[in-house]
Structure 1
Amino acid sequence: MFAFRDYYGNEVLLSFADHPFSQTPDHVWVVCRYQQQWLLTNHRERGLEFPGGKREENETTEQAALREVKEETGGIVERLTYIGQYQVGQTLTKNIYFAEVKELSKQSTYLETNGPVLLDELPDDLTKDERFSFIMKDKVLTYTLAEIKRRSL
């Protein structure tokens, strides 16, 4: 388990174990790949980030992850893998997934985002890049990318 402070100084606990903080968290975050590129979304207020959001009533976290990727990028997920879970303070818990996207479909709306953004590589130091959301600027992303690499996903 990892413990650190996020971009705003909140305490974060991160684990790659099976649901260490909650069996039914209310939020999801999905690290996506499409045709050997990173698939992000451009949130209108926060900037570039991986898709994610709140689980709706009567929805599993897996269903929420698939829906969020589709709504925010137009992506159709081919394979979804549970990676881990993180908790911010005592109130917010998110499941982390890795998604391999098989297709991007053009949509008339991407809800609160400006749609998909494809990057060959993520910058080495996202904390100094103003294009990226605060969600991308703490160790959750760093450790998650290392875990995805470790699992050879």
Structure 2
Amino acid sequence: MGMEARHVLVVVKHEGKWLVTRHSNRGIEFPGGKAEDGETIFDAAIRETIEETGVTISDLVKFAEYVVISNVTFCKAVFTGKVSSIEENPQLFETEGALWMTDEELDNCDELSFHMKDAGMAEIRKWVNAYAS
């Protein structure tokens, strides 16, 4: 048994575009974050997506987990889902809110966070493409 995932990454494609946000320090990335005490990772995925983008997701599917090796090594669970509502003017504090990017825009983006250049990201996007279509 590996380490328990307490971090989440939410990779959603809606009407042909990826839901990303611009983090003030890291750049463009998929929404995500850390589960709070007593919170399930499913609840954390929904909450973080709302907090970072104003988008509410439903029909969550956890389809991957990976370990991030850094100063503090942690396990991240990767989710996808369906967009159920989009708040037009959300009050956001950590990010600039929802950005919707096509495959081409994401592939050619020079502001991607280091998380998005991860080797597994191409596989993650392939899986979500299959799920979303």
TM-score in terms of structure 2 length = 0.85
Q: Report the Cα distance in structure 2 between the residues aligned to 1:67 and 1:111, rounded to whole angstroms.
A: 14
Greater CA deviation, 89-98 or 74-83? 89-98
Change in CA separation of 1:30 and 1:108 when aligned onto 2, cut-off 3 Å: closer
Q: Following superposition of structure 1 onto structure 2, how do residues 101-140 of structure 1 map, counting pairs within 5 Å?
A: 101-123=83-105, 125=107, 129-140=109-120
Residue identity (%): 32
Cα displacement (A) at 1:76: 1.0
Residue matched to 1:65:
45
Partner letter of residue 2 of structure 2?
F
Show CA shifts across 1:39-85 (max 9, x none).
11111111111000010000000000000110000011132111110
Is this contact kept in 1: 2:13–2:132, CA < 8 A? no
Greater CA deviation, 58-67 or 90-99? 90-99
Greater CA deviation, 54-63 or 37-46? 37-46
Query: Which of 30, 40, 46 lines up with 1:50 in the alignment?
Result: 30
Secondary structure at the counterpart of residue 21 of structure 2: strand
Q: Following superposition of structure 1 onto structure 2, how do residues 17-36 of structure 1 map, counting pairs within 5 Å?
A: 21-22=2-3, 24-36=4-16
Secondary structure at the counterpart of residue 120 of structure 2: helix
Is this contact kept in 1: 2:29–2:116, CA < 8 A? yes
Report the number of matched residues: 131
CA RMSD of aligned residues (A): 2.2
Long gaps (5+) in structure 2: none
TM-score in terms of structure 1 length = 0.75
Change in CA separation of 1:29 and 1:122 when aligned onto 2, cut-off 3 Å: farther
Partner letter of residue 12 of structure 2?
C
